[in-house]
């Protein structure tokens, strides 16, 4: 049993174990010391801790367990694929909507620019007519 350093939860089984190398040969009946990586079920923190040899329960690999693992993986992959397709569809729709909004904004900007150009042209004409009316020349300044 190992205790999570973050939240203090007891974690029973390690995710991975390995023997700790010893400088001296093991005595008869002495078991090798083991270390392991544990994952806390509450906070998902991973940490290392010493493991007692009796704590490890080796599960013999069987075809049935391998098939169950593959089925679980396949189900997760199918679910992931479906969610990715849904996200792609949503993003494509959002892209289309944004492109339409950009086009509307471009048209609005063009119409404002055209209106300003015509207003400037009209003001220039008015300035010219006022100059003509008062017979204003640049030299009179």
Give residue-wise pLDDT tens across range 53-82.
Answer: 664 544 445 777 777 777 777 777 777 888
Percent of the chain residues past pLDDT 70, beyond the cut: 87
- DSSP-derived secondary structure letter, 3: E
- DSSP-derived secondary structure letter, 134: T
CB–CB of 33/22 below 8 Å? Answer: yes
CB–CB of 17/35 below 8 Å? Answer: yes
Domain ranges of the chain: 2-55
Element (H, E) at 19: strand 16-19
Higher pLDDT: 57 or 122? It is: 122
24-63 confidence digits (pLDDT tens):
787 777 777 888 999 998 888 899 988 876 645 444 457 7
pLDDT at residue 57 in the model? 47
Whole-prediction pTM? 0.39
**pLDDT confidence band for 98 (50 / 70 / 90):** very high
CATH T-level fold of 2-55: SH3 type barrels. (2.30.30)
């Amino acid at each position: 049993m190992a205790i999570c350093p973050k939240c203090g939860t007891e974690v029973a089984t390690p995710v991975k174990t390995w023997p700790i190398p010893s400088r001296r040969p093991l005595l008869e009946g002495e078991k090798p010391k083991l270390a392991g990586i544990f994952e806390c079920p509450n906070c998902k923190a991973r940490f290392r801790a010493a493991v007692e040899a009796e704590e490890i329960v080796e599960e013999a690999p069987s075809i049935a367990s391998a098939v169950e693992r593959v089925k679980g993986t396949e189900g997760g992959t199918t679910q992931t694929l479906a969610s990715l397709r849904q996200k792609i569809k949503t993003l494509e729709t959002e892209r289309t909507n944004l492109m339409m909004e950009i086009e509307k904004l471009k048209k609005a900007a063009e119409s404002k620019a055209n209106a300003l150009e015509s207003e400037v042209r009209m003001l220039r004409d008015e300035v010219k007519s006022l100059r003509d009316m008062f017979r204003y020349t640049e030299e009179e300044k």
